[in-house]
Amino acid sequence: MSLLRPAWRALCMAALSLASAAVAGGVEPMAQLAPGYSQIGFVSKQMGVPVEGQFRKFDAQIAFDPKKPEGGTVALQIDMASATLGVPQSDAELPKAPWFDTARFPKASFQSSAIKGLGGGRFDIAGRLTIKGHTQELVVPVTITQSADRSTATGSFTIQRLAFKVGEGEWTDTSMVGDEVQVRFKLVLTGLRPL
C-alpha cells in the first residue's frame, strides 16, 4: 500500500496541473444539450411540394465563450438511422443505400474550424459537414438567446443532397426530389457563458 501512495499522489498532482493549465490556457468548459428540448429538422421538396423531416437522435460538444468565440469549438454528430419523415413507408427507405446508407455510414458530423462573432448574439460558424463519407465546407449562421440558466442556439442553412450522394440511382432526378435541402436546428444548452 505504501508503494502505491507516491504513485497515486503523483497522478493526482498531474491531474491538477493539467486542469490548471487548461484554465490558464483559456480552454472553455463544455456546454451541455438539454435533453428533450433540442431539434434538428430538414425540409426537402418532392415533386415541388415541401416535405419536413427530423433527426430524433444527435449529440453535440460545444465549448466556447460567446464573448471570445474565436477560440471555441463546436462538434455535432447525428444518428442517421433516427431520421423520420413521419410516414412509415418513407422512413423505411431512408436508411437504405441510395439514401443515407446507415449500415455503412451510421453518423453524419459537423466539426467547426472557425467561429466569428457578429454582435447581438449572432455568430458565423465555419466548418466541415460530412454525410455518407462526403465532406463539404460551409458557414452556418447561428443566433444565441439566453434566459435563466439556458441558452438557445438557432439557425438554418441549405445543402445540395447530391453533393453528399443522398438519393442515388433513379433518385438523382431532381424533378422528383429537389437537390436543395434546408437544415434547421434549435439547440437548447446549459452551461454556456453569458453573451
Locate 22 and state its grid cell.
Answer: 487548461
Beta partners for residue 49, in sequence order: 46
Per-residue model confidence (pLDDT) at position 9: 53
Q: How many CB atoms lie within 10 A of CB 100?
A: 24
Q: Are 124 and 92 in contact (CB under 8 A)?
A: no
Q: Are 54 and 39 in contact (CB under 8 A)?
A: yes
Locate 189 and state its grid cell.
Answer: 444548452
Per-residue model confidence (pLDDT) at position 5: 54
Give pTM, 2 decimals. Answer: 0.83
For 32, the 3-state DSSP assignment is: strand
Per-residue model confidence (pLDDT) at position 165: 97
Per-residue model confidence (pLDDT) at position 150: 94
Q: What is the pLDDT along the chain (195 residues), one digit of tens a residue?
A: 444 455 555 444 444 444 443 444 445 668 999 878 999 999 999 999 999 999 999 999 999 899 999 989 999 999 999 999 999 999 999 999 999 999 999 999 999 999 999 999 999 999 999 999 999 999 999 999 999 889 999 999 999 999 999 999 999 999 999 999 999 999 999 999 999
Nearest to 61 by CA among 130, 20, 109: 109
CATH 2.40.128.110 fits 31-190, yes or no: yes
Per-residue model confidence (pLDDT) at position 106: 98
Q: Are 107 and 133 in contact (CB under 8 A)?
A: no
- Listed in sequence order, the residues at least 6 apart from 148 whose beta carbon sits closer than 8 Å to its beta carbon are none
Q: What distance in Å separates the CA atoms of residue 133 and residue 113, rounded to the nearest whole number?
A: 18
